[in-house]
Amino acid sequence: NAGVTQTPKFRVLKTGQSMTLLCAQDMNHEYMYWYRQDPGMGLRLIHYSVGEGTTAKGEVPDGYNVSRLKKQNFLLGLESAAPSQTSVYFCASRKPGDTEAFFGQGTRLTVV
Amino acid sequence: AQKVTQAQTEISVVEKEDVTLDCVYETRDTTYYLFWYKQPPSGELVFLIRRNSFDEQNEISGRYSWNFQKSTSSFNFTITASQVVDSAVYFCAFMYSGGGADGLTFGKGTHLIIQP
């Protein structure tokens, strides 16, 4: 099984550009999450979704939008990228009632 | 809100030494889970252990052991006879177990360097 797949793995953006990160899971999980990892900060929750068509803000949602049009996909959008959004982004998913979260391999985004 | 503190930013030891990574958490919840993840230089997150707040038994898995003490709100991780392959960033994390969709709250991580 593929598990959780993030696309792309690496990306360099110029300030002000927009982009979308894709997270796809093939485990039929209801819950999906986007985290960002910054040096010395650990992982912090950006947004999450409890099911198709629903999203909610996490700890650091500003500057990001998300969509969950299909159960298996969770999209993270940056409308106008800023250097402060340079980070490694991780997607995760899990089943309701289960505590095991499955993580993608991460996307390294650099905004110059 | 919960908080996870990993006070050790970086630890460097020589191979074969034992090393303990500290994790202290703060919460008002009575039911929760604690986790340890490993992030090797390749960057992926590797799940190591999950512990329920009601289960204070220590756990040993090969060279790895975990000590959970609710009285001190700590969930420490010990590597015995460390090896170079143990070099990584280790994260402690918390999750409320009330049945909702809560995400994980991570500590800032401890960078463990095992020197040959």
Mutation site, A99, A100, A107, A108, interface B, largest B CB count within 10 A = A99
- Asked if B105 and B92 count as a contact pair (C-beta separation under 8 A), the reply is no
Which of B44, B93, B108 comes nearest A106 by C-beta? Answer: B44
Neighbours of B34 (CB within 10 A): 23
The predicted structure's pLDDT at residue B56:
86
Per-residue model confidence as pLDDT tens digits over B32-48: 999 999 999 999 999 99
* pLDDT mean for each 10 residues of chain A (112 residues): 91 97 97 95 95 95 97 97 98 92 96 97
Mutation site, A43, A44, A94, interface B, largest B CB count within 10 A = A43
Q: Which residues contact B62 (CB under 8 A, 6 or more apart)?
A: none
Per-residue model confidence as pLDDT tens digits over B51-88: 999 988 888 999 999 999 999 999 999 999 999 999 99
A42/B91 touch (CB, cutoff 8 Å), yes or no? yes
What beta strand segments (E) does chain B contain? Answer: 3-5, 10-14, 19-21, 24-26, 32-39, 46-52, 59-61, 64-69, 74-79, 88-96, 105-106, 110-115
> What is the rounded distance in angstroms from the CA atom of residue B58 to the CA atom of residue B69?
9
> Between A and B, how many CB-CB pairs are < 8 A?
55
The predicted structure's pLDDT at residue A14:
97
A58/B45 touch (CB, cutoff 8 Å), yes or no? no
pLDDT mean across residues, chain A: 95
Is A39 touching B (CB cutoff 8 A)? no
Amino acid in position B116? P
Query: B17 to chain A, minimum CA–CA distance in Å?
Result: 25
